Every structure is written in C-alpha cells, then in structure tokens.
Chains A and B, each alone.
Chain A
Amino acid sequence: MSGQKTSFLLSAATFLLLEVAALVLLHSSSTVQNIWINRASHRTKAFLWGGGEALRNQFRLDDLNQELQAENARLQERLRAYELRDAAQEEQEYVAPGVNPAVYHYIPATVVKMSRNQVHNYIILNKGSEDGIRPQSGIISDRGVVGIVEAVSQHYSYGLTLMNPEMSVGARLGSTEQVGPLYWDGVSTHRALMRNLSAHYVLYPGDTVRTSGFSVFFPPDIPIGVTGNSRLVDGTTREVEVFLFQDFSTLRYVTVVENLAREEITALEATVEDAL
C-alpha cells in the first residue's frame, strides 16, 4: 500500500515537473525568440525543410515567373513615374544638400520555410545578420505586408507572419482615411480583419487598405488588400473584413525593410514615457 502511494506521488511529481518545464519552454519561446534553443531550432528547421520548400516552388516556377514579370512591370511603371516627378521638381527648385529622405533600407530575401497551417505561424528567410538584417524589421512583398523579423542568426532570419495572433499592422482605409489595427482572421491564408473603426462611417466593399505608416516597422501606403463586408461590434466600433492581396500559400520572395529611424523614434517614445 505504501509502495503504491509512493509510486503515485512520484508519478504526480514527475507530471507536475514536466508540465511546468513545458510551460516555461512555451513561455520563453513565445516571448523571447533570440534564446539559444530557438536559434538552434530555426537553423534546424531551415536545414531540414528548406529542401521541401524549394521542391514545392519548383512545381510553381511558371506561376512564379509570371508573378515576377508582373512585379517587374509594376516597378518599371513606378520608376518611370518617379523619374517624371524628379524631372519636374528639378525644374522648380534646388534640393537642399544633406537632406536624405531615404528612411527605409530594403533587403531582398527568399523564404526558406514558412508555416501556414498553425495558429502561431512563422517564416524563416535565407538572409541573416551577415546580410544586414536586424530584428524588428518589417517583411513585405510586392503584394503587401508579410510579417516582422523577430530573431536573426548569422545566415537566417526568423519572423512572425501576419498569420499570427501576436501580430497586427497599422492600416488605413482608402476612402475614409480611417486608421485601425489589422489582424489575421485565424482561418484563411488571404483574409484579415480591420478593427476599432468609427461606427458612424459607412464602409463600402472594394475599398483599398494600405499601411498607415504609424508603426516603426512598415513604410506608409503599402497596399494590403481590399475591404469586404463590415459589421458593428458592441454598437461602438466597426470591424471590416479585408481580402489580402498577398496569398500566404504562394509566397516565395520577400523584401525585408528596416526603418533607419526606428531606434531614434523608440528612444524618443521611451524618454516621453519615463518623463510621464
């Protein structure tokens, strides 16, 4: 009888110990990505599953080529527009020397691994600290916002995608200029929800949603998607569904964007918070 009791107590203690250990692991891995075990996990995942992702993309080469061609055309169009604008500006004024409007630094990267079927989805890119990528940089594609870099190793970057409850993007509605957070809807790979919008505005489906530029991660005016139906939440705010331009199931090439003024902005915010 005493032996049975000891055995039960020992099992219960082991159970509690293992559950606490799992919870500690879970907590540390979801809040601090840059711990050694997570870095090792990211490297291993990139090594193990990178081949599979490359193989998957091999079967999509035609689609990818078409996407690249379309992106190329869009970029050329924009470049031409900038050239015309620069030429017009030069005629009118001299630009003051030393003024550098380039606040963002862009680094192209390829997706090595990306989860799409979980609640907390992540992305691993083939560029790391050696390539100039730093944590807390934004990840975008030509079709919108992808995620945020959370941790960086020498050759790889680990980020949370928009398909993650821990991530939201500051977005702006085209017609009304309303700003609100955009969250993933938790189910689809191409649908999100924009929340906390004023209830008195009438929202029409088909309106373009862009980044607000209020966060330190993403430049303003990156197209994210178009609105669908909206609904009133608790009678006070409005929530609208957004069909993303970026379909996460077909993502391969991305651009990491670093806000060069981020540290200055966050330091300023910290100073103000301390003063209050």
Chain B
Amino acid sequence: MKLSTVKFILLFVVQLLVWNYSNFLQYVFIVFLPVMLLCLPIERGSISLMLLAFVLGVAADFLVNGQLGLTALALVPVAALRRTVIQLVFGNEILARGEELSFHRQRYTKFATATLMLTSVFLLVYLWVDGAGMYSLGFLALKYVISLLVSTAVSVPVAYLLLEESTGKWN
C-alpha cells in the first residue's frame, strides 16, 4: 500500500476520532474531509471522486454521526466542485500538465483559499440540513463562520501532511 493511501486512511480515522470526542461546544464543527479530497491526485476524475466522497461520507455517518447520509450529502458537492476550485485558485496549467499539488510550488495562501472554498461548501450543506428547524439563522451563521475558520486552520496542516511527498519532489 502506498504511503499516501496509508496517510489518507489514518487522517480519516483522526477525523472520526475528532467527531466522536470533540464534545466541547455546539458552536464549532471541525472538518477536514474537504481538504483530504482536494489533496487527492489531480488526474482522478470527477465521477470517481464523487463516488469516493459518497463512500467516505456514509462510512463516517455509519461509524460516528447520528444521521446516516448527512456527511455524504455535504461531501459529494465538494468532490463535484473540486476541479473548478483548483482551476480558480491554482490556474488551468496545473490541470493541463496533470501536475500534483505541492506546497513548494503553490504556497500556503493558495491552499488556504482552496480549502476555505471547499470547506465552506461542505459546511453550508451540512449545517443547514443538520440544523434546519432547530436554530435561528443568526446562530447558524455564527456556527458557520466559527466552524469555517477553525476547520480551515486545521485543514492546512492536514494538506501539508498529505502532500509532503509531492512537495519533497519539488524541493
């Protein structure tokens, strides 16, 4: 098994542990699954990425979260939009050349921007569906903003861990 696959599986387990044991606040929802999808090889097609997102989402819901299908519902749009976000943030060349994402070439700010965009899509769907009818719009907006900032801050080191090998190549 490739090292990147092992890292991906381990980080997925860490995400499950975070969801299971982060019992401290209702205001924060920490997620780094979107950035894990962002860091998968560029050549992976949209359809296989969406299928993977669906499987990961259902697995997360099955193992930790209460509502089966909720994470899958929020993660599939992330997979669908990943190519567009890469085009917008990193440019067309990276897709044309089929290059891997790398911290050395693309810099942290671009990763943070792409992560922010994908995480915002995930949280928008997840928090809206999960909290519909329960919370006021103000509370949901506050939870959304806090969760987005915290999740993005956590996601950047996660991306670095996943892309260590490709970053090393450019060094």
Contact = CB atoms under 8 A, between A and B. Distances in A.
Contacts of B171: none
Interface string B3-39: 0000000000000000111111111000000000000
A37 B131 contact: no
B26 A29 contact: no
B144 to A, nearest CB: 13
B133 A49 contact: no
A45 interface: yes
Interface of A is mostly: helix
A22 B69 contact: yes
A237 interface: no
Interface string A180-200: 000000111000000000000
B23 A25 contact: no
Interface in B59-97: 61-70, 72-73, 76-77, 80
B67 A24 contact: no
Contacts of A22: 54, 57-58, 69-70, 72-73, 76
A48 interface: yes
A19 B47 CA distance: 13
A29 B57 CA distance: 14
A45 B66 CA distance: 10
A24 to B, nearest CB: 7
Interface in A18-39: 18-19, 21-30, 37-38
A117 B25 contact: yes
B137 interface: no
B50 interface: yes
B109 interface: no
Interface string B128-154: 011101110001000000000000000
Contacts of A30: 67
A41 interface: yes
Interface of B is mostly: helix
B134 A41 contact: no
Contacts of B54: 18, 21-22
Nearest to B48: A14
A38 B46 CA distance: 29
Interface stretch (A66-74, A118-126, A201-209): A118-126
Contacts of B46: 11, 14
A28 B57 CA distance: 16
B130 A118 contact: yes
A155 B20 CA distance: 22
Contacts of B134: 119, 165, 186
Contacts of A15: 50, 76-77, 80
A25 B72 contact: yes
Nearest to A113: B20
B7 to A, nearest CB: 21
B84 to A, nearest CB: 11
Contact of B47 (A10, A44, A118, A120): A10
B130 A44 contact: no
Contact of B68 (A29, A117, A165, A249): A29
Given A18-B76, A117-B25, A44 B66 contact: no
Contacts of B51: 14, 18
A52 B21 CA distance: 9
A118 B66 contact: yes
B63 A45 contact: yes
A40 to B, nearest CB: 8
A44 B63 contact: yes
Interface of B: 19-27, 46-47, 50-51, 53-54, 57-58, 61-70, 72-73, 76-77, 80, 129-131, 133-135, 139
Interface of A: 10-11, 14-15, 18-19, 21-30, 37-38, 40-41, 44-45, 48-49, 52, 115-122, 165, 186-188, 249
13 contacts: A18-B53, A22-B54, A22-B70, A23-B73, A25-B58, A26-B70, A41-B68, A48-B63, A52-B20, A52-B21, A118-B65, A119-B134, A122-B66
Given A26-B129, A40-B62, A41-B68, 6 more contacts: A25-B68, A26-B68, A45-B63, A119-B135, A186-B26, A187-B26
